[in-house]
Amino acid sequence: MESFESEMTDQDSQEIHSRKVKADIKPWISLLVASSSIFLMTLDLGLTAVSLPEIRADFDASKRQIINWGATAYLVAMTSLLLLFGRLSDRYGRRKLFLTGLSITTMAVSLAAFTPNPEIFLIARTFQGAGIAILVPTALAMVLGDIPQKHQGAAVGLWGSIGAVAGVLGPISSGSLIEIFGWRATFALLAILGFLALLAGIRVLNESYLPEVPENLDLMSVFSGIISIGSVTLILLQGNDWGWFSRKIIFLFFLGVLVTCFFLISCKRSKNPLLDLELFKNHKYRQVTIAAGFHQVAFFAFFFSSPILLSEIWGWSPMKTGFTVAPAMVLAILVQTPFGILADRFGYRKLILYGGFVPSLGIAWWLIFVDSEPSYLSAFLPGLLVVSLGSAMVGITTTGVALTVVDTQKLGIANAMHQVSRRLGTTIGVALAVGLGSGSNELEILENIKVLWWVVAFMYAIGSLFVWKSDVE
């Protein structure tokens, strides 16, 4: 009898242990599924960037401008709708919004894969941007609450590493897919991955946050917020093409200023605004969100100007340029999760500060050798890796702070606002790289790139100062 009771006790203990292990592992499985959002978004950027010339060539020349607008519409829709869907996720449940966004994204890329004309392609890309706008603020907020506080840095680091993997795979896989199957295969791949992620999400993800019965959002703040962010994004995207002092840009500028003022007034006066301005009373959140924006400007200005230098000044081929820049992306994959673990152990503040100032060393190193084609191993690669290392530090740590210093019921809108800052920073960085990385001759381009890199170093420093002035631990 005693033996039987002992055996039962052992079985019960094993079962309890097994349940505990499953409970501990499940949040990480959910994180991997939720990471499909950043994977799809980052992969799409790489695939589309390479396939866009092939898409234009496949349609009538008179309609190729519509194809160009497809890329613009995607970015404008994604950036301008982030706040709305972040707010809705806090009010109606993050799992519902996440699965909805994944469904819209999957259907949109499927439509793009089989589009019969440029007009349908434009519609598909717009809806794809809207789908990504749902995924970005909801995904990480959905699962982060289930992960213990002491492991949240590692979780954000893993999240960033998955995005970095997609950043490497996008440009590499797109060339092979296009050459063998044509450009439609790139969108078919995204559709397959989206469908698999949707099936996994339905099976694995749970609603970790159950909001109270929501009240209706203030529609004035919703519409003015979308127009405000959309107009700013469109200015940054089209400024180089239209001319920064063209009538279109000037009109959008004044429209953006006017609507932004109206938006802020609506948010302040409304009972249920699109953006809860109380977020910015949180000193830690405000400072790291601003810092993230400056760091994104710096990072993308640097990495978009680097290929310009390699191809236009040093005459490197696109293939050689791609392979020489690839180690930076590989390094970003390898270090983000370890940096997240270090943040859990030693705090976020030091990593953000070091991550802000370290890239300046890489840029200074490049400025020494920029006037003549340097040795790849002794000059180019060290500077590139140092910039990538610092940027990886900043990227995951600012996001980690932004999502760990706010209340659970505000995680969706907090992440959305943080992502708006990052997306606008990205767009500004690319615009700076394209604008300053041009010129009538090689000497002018080189001098402009030097100026740009000084601006990049300044942006990194400004971002770090915002963190220094905060009380982030």
Q: Is 299 within 8 Å of 355 (Cβ atoms)?
A: no
Q: Is 322 within 8 Å of 311 (Cβ atoms)?
A: no
Do 156 and 230 reside in the same domain of the chain?
no
- The answer to the question of residue 256 being in a domain is yes
| Residue, of 54 and 15, whose pLDDT is higher | 54
Do 177 and 69 reside in the same domain of the chain?
yes
Do 251 and 295 reside in the same domain of the chain?
no
Lowest mean pLDDT among 104-108, 153-157, 387-391: 153-157
Q: What is the pLDDT of residues 158-178, one digit of tens each?
A: 777 787 777 777 766 776 777
Residue ending a domain, among 247, 265, 283, is 265
Q: Is 273 within 8 Å of 218 (Cβ atoms)?
A: yes
Q: What is the pLDDT of residues 184-228, one digit of tens each?
A: 888 999 999 999 999 988 888 877 666 665 667 888 999 999 999
Do 21 and 52 reside in the same domain of the chain?
yes
- The answer to the question of residue 270 being in a domain is no
Rounded mean pLDDT, 86-110? 89
- The answer to the question of residue 193 being in a domain is yes
Share of the chain above pLDDT 90, in %: 19
Q: How many helices (H) does the chain have, and how many strands (E)?
A: 15, 0
Report the pLDDT value the prediction gives residue 259, as an integer from 0 to 100: 95
Do 344 and 380 reside in the same domain of the chain?
yes
Report the pLDDT value the prediction gives residue 237, as an integer from 0 to 100: 87
Do 189 and 298 reside in the same domain of the chain?
no
Cα separation of 28 and 58, whole Å? 43
Do 78 and 162 reside in the same domain of the chain?
yes
Please give the helix or strand (H or E) that residue 338 lies within, else none: helix 318-346
Rounded mean pLDDT, 353-381? 77
- The answer to the question of residue 64 being in a domain is yes
| Residue, of 225 and 46, whose pLDDT is higher | 225
- The answer to the question of residue 461 being in a domain is yes
Query: What residue type is assigned to position 387 of the chain?
Result: V
For residue 185, what are the domain limits? 1-217
Does 67 have pLDDT greater than 50? Answer: yes
Q: What is the pLDDT of residues 146-156, one digit of tens each?
A: 777 777 777 77
Q: Which residues contact 264 (CB under 8 A, 6 or more apart)?
A: 277
User: pLDDT class for 270, splitting at 50, 70, 90?
Assistant: confident
Residue ending a domain, among 202, 217, 232, is 217
Secondary structure of residue 213 in the 3-state scheme: coil
Q: What share of the chain is helix, strand, coil (3-state, %, to 5)?
A: 85, 0, 15
Q: Is 429 within 8 Å of 301 (Cβ atoms)?
A: yes
Do 61 and 199 reside in the same domain of the chain?
yes
- The answer to the question of residue 356 being in a domain is yes
Do 307 and 260 reside in the same domain of the chain?
no
Do 295 and 193 reside in the same domain of the chain?
no
* Structure token pair of residue 96: 């519902």
Which of 370, 372, 388 lies closest to 451, judged by CA? Answer: 370
Dihedral sign for Cα 389, 395, 396, 402, please.
Answer: positive
Q: From start to end of 139-291, where are the E strands?
A: none
Report the pLDDT value the prediction gives residue 211, as an integer from 0 to 100: 65
Report the pLDDT value the prediction gives residue 17, as an integer from 0 to 100: 43
Does 468 have pLDDT greater than 50? Answer: yes
The distance from CA 466 to its chain's CA centroid, rounded to whole angstroms, is 21
The distance from CA 242 to its chain's CA centroid, rounded to whole angstroms, is 26
Rounded mean pLDDT, 10-27? 54
Which CATH number belongs to the domain containing residue 206 in this structure?
Answer: 1.20.1250.20
Report the pLDDT value the prediction gives residue 231, as an integer from 0 to 100: 94
Do 192 and 225 reside in the same domain of the chain?
no
Rounded mean pLDDT, 469-473? 67
Count of Cβ atoms closer than 10 Å to residue 168 Cβ: 18
Work out how many domains the chain is built from and give that number. 3
Report the pLDDT value the prediction gives residue 429, as an integer from 0 to 100: 86
Do 352 and 381 reside in the same domain of the chain?
yes
